Amino acid sequence: MTDYYGKDISLDEILLHVRPGWHPLITTLVEDLGKLGWDGQVCQVKEKFGGLRFYIGAKSDEIQLRITEAEKQSYKICEICGEPGILVKLGWLMTRCPEHSKT
């Protein structure tokens, strides 16, 4: 996990902080936020308690709603492969498909 404290970072750098199954989710989120007027500054991106956390600085209510929507969606997407998943406890909470919940 890296704290960016409101720095402009690239999508590729954002994707380094989550597993590949969530890459399409975050790519769409970043595209949508750009359309909503987001300034591109990121404070932190990570997985926590099995779900996506996407923290930015100043934001409109509309931008916050879109982030919240993506965070909720992350609990239904396997963070490993992107297939449908559920929250499971494998030592700690993770969102995984049936295949990856065995590991």
Determine the pLDDT at residue 8.
Answer: 79
pLDDT score of 82 more than 70: yes
Sign of the C-alpha dihedral, residues 73, 75, 80, 81? negative
Phi/psi of residue 19, each to 5°?
-75, 160
Percent of the chain at pLDDT above 90?
A: 81
Strand partners, 52: 47
Which residues lie below 8 Å from residue 64, measured CB to CB, with a gap of 6+?
none
- pTM (whole model) above 0.85: yes
- pLDDT tens digits along 21-71: 999 999 999 999 999 999 988 999 999 999 999 999 889 999 999 999 999
Determine the pLDDT at residue 90.
Answer: 85
Query: Higher-confidence residue: 58 or 18?
Result: 18
